[in-house]
Amino acid sequence: MGVQWLLVCHGLVTLLVVVSFLCGQWPIFQGTFIQRLHTFLTFGAFDYFRRFVEFVFGSRGTNALYITQYYCCDRPNPILQALYLAIVGGTFYLIVISTFNYIPSYYMGGYHRYTSVLAVGVGFLLFLLTSFSDPGTINAENVSQYLSLYPYDNIIYSEKECSTCKILKPARSKHCSICDRCVARFDHHCGWMNNCIGEKNTLYFVMFLLWHFFLCVYGTVAIGLVLAGRLKELEVVYILTAYYGIENSYRSLAPHVVQWLISSYNTQILIMVFLAIVSLLLSGFFGYHFSLCLSNTTTNETFKWDDYLSWQRKVKEAKASTEALKASLDDLSQETTKPQQSKWKSFFKRSKLEQDDGVEIIKNNIYDRGFFQNLYEIIYPLSSRHSFSTHKLKTG
């Protein structure tokens, strides 16, 4: 039973750490242990490690640590790309050596040996396309094209020059400090891809997330069917009921079947748990980015809109407070000339500040052109259409 409990604890700890690291900043986890663990993993652990290095090695050690941090976090590097390849390759290798021996099985056809290789290959192809495709780099030669394609909304985007590239920044673009380039329709810099996600590779990135979600679900279900086939082929249920006298019911058999599976196929169970956890995380990431695509918004723009709406609310609150204070002073100055108001009316009367609390601040996204048009823009970017039209005019 020690191995079983060790696997259960390992799975729970892995789930807790992965969810805390990737999702701990989400509003739903605010003020919880998940958020505190996220803070420790992203900031606290490094700070404690820095103090340890400084105590043991002095200033030279901390300088070396900062140089390493700069290379890993602030410069393009293939570390996370190599980690992705190690995770996918290592997981598939474990599946091959632990599970392929049982394929074909009672519930799995032999062709799954080949479809699994094909599925991993497609995922690797999407990884390459996202990592090495041009995200939409803006330079002096094509800046005028992007300026005409994306108008300024004068809310979160206004005409200004990029201080690094020394060219006008088209709307929806951003200068990536890691890649050191301006990117059209900038979404974010993805360390896993060692590339920016922008106008020209958003489709590859979203497809990468969706395909790897299906890949993890496929792996989880396939291993589950293989184990179900082993139960059937080895007649485990019959042996438990006929030779051990266990009642033939789900409640009675389930603990013994689970115990047998964990003790006999612990590697497969561990891989299933890992794939299930990753599939849940990927479904969340894909859902978030797909919703952004439907509204023609980028991750960068969500932060900009949050800052703008927060500032607008503060301005409205300040104006409402000023008007409420002015109204109160006017009431005091006219108190002697006005007849005394009923205490009940004064009690139920809403202040000017309370009246303005219901004013809604509207997000006016001029780039949202509707469901189908937004998706079409992801599939066929505006710059590609413009280049095609220009080429057609020249050749025509």
Predicted local distance difference test score (pLDDT) of residue 113: 94
Told to judge if 190 belongs to the known catalytic residues of this protein, a careful annotator would answer yes
Q: Which two tokens stand for residue 72?
A: 């890993």
Predicted local distance difference test score (pLDDT) of residue 347: 47
Catalytic option among 23, 165, 179, 190: 190
Using CA atoms of 89, 290, 39, 270 in order, give the dihedral in degrees to the nearest 10.
Answer: -30
- The phi, psi pair for 5, rounded to 5°, reads -65, -35
Q: Quote the longest CA-to-CA distance of the chain.
A: 100
Predicted local distance difference test score (pLDDT) of residue 4: 59
Residue pair 216/278 in contact (Cβ under 8 Å)? The answer is yes
User: How far apart, in whole angstroms, are the C-alpha atoms of residue 290 and residue 287?
Assistant: 5
- Where are the alpha helices (H) located in the chain, listed in sequence order? 2-23, 33-39, 45-74, 79-99, 112-132, 143-149, 202-233, 236-242, 250-264, 266-294, 299-333, 343-348, 352-356, 371-379, 382-395
Residue pair 133/160 in contact (Cβ under 8 Å)? The answer is no
Question: 111, 115, 94, 81: which is closest to 215 by C-alpha?
Answer: 115
Q: In 3-state terms, what secondary structure has residue 190?
A: strand
How confident is the chain (396 residues) per 10-residue block, as mean pLDDT? 64 80 77 89 88 90 89 88 96 95 91 96 97 95 93 93 94 95 96 95 97 97 95 89 85 87 89 92 93 94 91 86 78 62 51 49 82 93 71 52
Predicted local distance difference test score (pLDDT) of residue 353: 46
Under DSSP, the state recorded for 27 is G
